[in-house]
Amino acid sequence: MLAKDLQDRVDEIAGIIRSVWPTRPEAGIVLGTGLGGLADAIEQEAVFEVRELPHLPAATAIGHRGALICGRLGGVPVVAQAGRYHAYEGYPQWQITLPIRVMHQLGIGRLIMSNASGGLNPHYDVGDLVVVQDHMSLLGSNPFCGVRGDGADADRTDMSCPYDEQLMRRALEIARQERIVAHKGVYLAVTGPNFETRAEIRFMRQFADVVGMSTVPEVIVSSQLELPVVAFSMVTNRCMADVALPPDGHHVAQIAAVNEPRLRRIVTRLVGDLGGETTADRPRRARQSQSG
């Protein structure tokens, strides 16, 4: 696919949304497994089921509705993706990340992401929140695979610091004020849909704090778009390398849903911070120079 063809699809979807909801959203929100309850806090002004929009596939994962919700959270205009896509559903990553490009086209200045994850760090407990400070990917693909750009660097992006430091600090500050347990950690993305073997857990623990099956593709595209990102990972099960304790996808979604109200409080306050900002106040994603 040509980059121009991808942009044409983004323009078409954004045009349909704008024809119904012309408001420019301040933030985009991606709701992960079991975390769709946050959508209930949004004062909904327009809702688009993915079947009503071209080029977007069905969301088939447990606990994922498959809709774009436009409205206000704490009085601030937002657009939320209620139900994301995953590589294990068989979709290419350019399609998985299409909603992020649409949100950017609609005018968002921040992206707030959430996911459910397995806790690799032995100090993390079920229900803990992790503010992602960096990630590793074992997905085996990339949102730019199969998309031919318009120039030599069109499919490259700087990933030296993909998560916004200012948003991370504010998220952790809000968590402390709300007396919510929150860590700063590294997220490892795997394809799934199967859960990890005990040997894989031992390997992963050397490099990451939590493991999940999403988020990284969207962050890569956000980095290309120079869109500041903050990502929250809800620990829904502990990955035990020495105990044969098989996880269950439905249980993971239930645990995430039970603990979702605490994430909702942080996200609502984080979005509320944007209420008094102007477009000129929006920080560009910080970039870090590299040599070699």
Which residues neighbour 243 within 8 Å (Cβ) at sequence distance 6 or greater? none
Nearest to 231 by CA among 142, 116, 63, 120: 116
User: What pLDDT score was predicted for residue 240?
Assistant: 86
Write the class of the CATH domain 3-276: alpha beta
Is the pTM for the entire model greater than 0.95?
no
| pLDDT beneath 70: ranges in the chain | 34, 61-64, 150-155, 243-248, 276-292
Measured between alpha carbons, how far is residue 22 from residues 16, 79, 161 in Å?
10, 12, 32
CA atoms of 71 and 40, how far apart (whole Å) = 11
Q: What is the pLDDT of residue 259?
A: 85
Residue 291: the pLDDT is: 32
Select from 220, 230, 225, 229 the least CA-distant residue to 159: 220
